[in-house]
Amino acid sequence: MKSHNLPEFKAAVSKQLMPRWNLLYSDTNNIYWVHNGNVAERADGFDWRKPIPGWTSATEWGPYLPFKAYPQLENPPSGFLQNCNNPPWVATKNSGLKPLEPAPYYMRPVTKADAGEESLNTRGERVFQVLGEEKKFTLQDMVDLGFDTYNLAADVVVPLLTRAYDANPSTDPRVTRAMKQIRDWDRRSSKESVAFTYVYYWGKAYGDLFSKPKFARFNSYSRKNIDLNSAEEQRMARTALEEGVKRIEKQFGNAEVPWGKINVVVRGGSFPLGGNAMFGVLHPDEGTTQDNGEIHCNDGWGHLLVVIESDPKQIWTLLPYGQSEDKSSPHYNDQAKLHSERKVKRFWFTPEDIFKHSESVWGDRNRIKVLIH
């Protein structure tokens, strides 16, 4: 944290005092990423995914792999680096990193030597999709990316449901209204979206009726291999929609419910949220479902940070579920409200700004003045 430039940052990390963690670095001229860790050298000739002999020195671990051996990228041609809990070789487009390096046992489970973007989860896919655009991103673009709720699964789910319905239109007006919403849907789980409520309950019903692994296909990189013209695929999709509509009406007394009426953060009030975790969107709010059907979100993501590399740095942040635990504090739920409104707050970075915006400090407030002067 005390490094002033990239060489100092690398020098600190290369001491290998941290046993893990992906690390992203930026300054006014560079972006850098390393899949950091302390991984020991191991002998060839053993399947390290299985129990190995403990009675021979041949299986003793050697020294840690040197820092330079770990997957790392500096100023890639793509112009971006990312990590959404994805493997090292998809830290950016066309990274050039090899899945089986620095050692065949480095990743668990061992992957294919030619593994590529199919290794991305849905969040990583969405980052690739957005940051892979040929454009200059604004501050608002990056804030919007932090709150992004586009559902990649919808690119298959919507046409599948459409074909299933068109092949055999429903006589149930509730299902017909649901399909009208889904056809017109912008494919985002926004708090205003009625369509996403249908799709969310469709997904829950689909997993319950036909198994969780069958539902998981829609969140897989291989989702496009699902045969939209298959009569069986259409039958399952349609059955799940009919069941989902019934469940919504049974729970809420009305089948047309905006997502933000269900998905909320409760913190000195109840505030509607977009996002969801079930479909792996970038903004994955989740929590415990209550008896009244509400989802009280308190998990899914921990913080949002947007930095403009300038002098001084311009920084915006958000702790989505709040920071203060003092219910009498005006700051108890101020960030929860911002979360609901898809907004961020300015983060004061310089001593001058910290002093100017301090409401209270521990100890002597004049100590900040000393730092400034």
Q: Shortest CA distance to 64 belongs to which of 32, 88, 36? A: 36
Residue 369 has pLDDT above 90, yes or no: no
pTM for this predicted structure: 0.92
Q: What percent of the chain has pLDDT over 90?
A: 85
d(CA 281, CA 96): 26
Other Cβ atoms closer than 10 A to 307 = 15
Q: How confident is the model at residue 86 (pLDDT cuts 50, 70, 90)?
A: very high
How high is the pLDDT of residue 330? 87
Residue 198 has pLDDT above 80, yes or no: yes
Q: To the nearest whole number, what is the mean pLDDT of the chain? A: 94
Characterize 79-99 residue by residue with b for buried, 16 or more Cβ atoms within 10 angstroms of its Cβ, and e for exposed. Answer: ebbbbbebbbbbbbeebebeb
d(CA 210, CA 205): 8
Q: Sketch the domain layout of the chain as residue ranges.
A: 6-120, 154-261, 304-324+332-372
- Domain 6-120: CATH superfamily is Aminohydrolase, N-terminal nucleophile (Ntn) domain (3.60.20.10)
Q: Shortest CA distance to 39 belongs to which of 133, 84, 102? A: 102
Q: Which residue has the tokens 């090899």?
A: 98
How high is the pLDDT of residue 185? 98
271: which 2 tokens?
């505030």
212: which 2 tokens?
């969780």
183: which 2 tokens?
């056809």
How high is the pLDDT of residue 372? 61
Residue 373 has pLDDT above 80, yes or no: no
How high is the pLDDT of residue 49? 85
Lowest mean pLDDT among 18-22, 94-98, 250-254: 18-22
Average pLDDT over every residue of 344-369: 81
Q: Are 305 and 24 in contact (CB under 8 A)?
A: no
> Which is more confidently placed, 302 or 233?
233
Q: Shortest CA distance to 14 belongs to which of 62, 87, 65? A: 65
Q: How confident is the model at residue 176 (pLDDT cuts 50, 70, 90)?
A: very high
pLDDT, tens digit, 9 for 90 and up, residues 28-62: 999 999 999 999 999 999 988 889 999 999 999 99
Average pLDDT over every residue of 81-87: 94
Q: How confident is the model at residue 195 (pLDDT cuts 50, 70, 90)?
A: very high
CATH numeric code, 154-261? 1.10.1400
Residue 326 has pLDDT above 70, yes or no: yes
How high is the pLDDT of residue 310? 87
d(CA 151, CA 283): 10
How high is the pLDDT of residue 365? 65
Average pLDDT over every residue of 229-248: 98
How high is the pLDDT of residue 362? 73
Give yes or no for a cis peptide into 272 (omega within 30° of 0): no
How high is the pLDDT of residue 354? 85
Say whether 96 sits in a helix, a strand or coil.
Answer: coil
